[in-house]
Amino acid sequence: MENIGTSVGIIINNSDENPDGRPIMFDDGTGGGLRIPSMMISKDDGLVLMTWLKNASKADYQNIVVMAEFVSNPMDDNRVHYEMWLTSTSNRALDFLEDFERFHTLLHNDEQLEDNVKFEPRYIFWACDDCDEEYVERECYGNGKYCAIDNDPILPGREIIDEDLR
């Protein structure tokens, strides 16, 4: 195999949950310069990888090859899928959606594209494992598993989540 010098980010899940499915991996505004493929692996697989890295010789490091396959949606239906992750309290996101509506409508009115594109808004919720009970009661569902942390100081997080779910 030819070395093409490609980098990949491997994130090891720090909980025992298996990250299979669709973990949310997105830029939170602090990684603007990071532009490499990334993946999340399970804690168990990460321990195997970290153990190997700790015990590897210099020669092992020279010969390491990581093979990763980034596949599209397993239910690929030959359409272009595009998503937007947001919360209903983000004015920037809502302004973007308003501006984007005209473009999206054109895509769906074009005879060649209407059945070949699919847009899905996705709503972001956060886990708050270290929050006090009062905060969790006011801002979260699921005992702190689903919270609206970056919320409007006037609206309780539960109301924001209710609106996002609507």
The overall average pLDDT reported for the chain is 75
CA dihedral 31, 32, 36, 40 (to 10 degrees): 30
Q: Are residues 84 and 155 in the same domain?
A: yes
> What is the structure's pLDDT at 2?
45
Residue identified by tokens 């697989």 is 45
Confidence of residue 138 (pLDDT cuts 50, 70, 90): confident
Mean pLDDT for 23-40 is 63
pTM higher than the cut 0.85: no
Residue 10 and residue 41 in contact, taking contact as beta carbons nearer than 8 Å: yes
Q: Answer whether residue 70 is part of any domain.
A: no
Domain that holds residue 30: 9-63
Q: Are residues 161 and 90 in the same domain?
A: yes
Residue 113, pLDDT > 70, answer no
Residue 20 phi/psi, 5-degree rounding, is -60, 155
Q: Answer whether residue 134 is part of any domain.
A: yes
Q: Answer whether residue 75 is part of any domain.
A: no
> What is the C-alpha to C-alpha distance for residues 88 and 86, in angstroms, rounded to an integer?
7
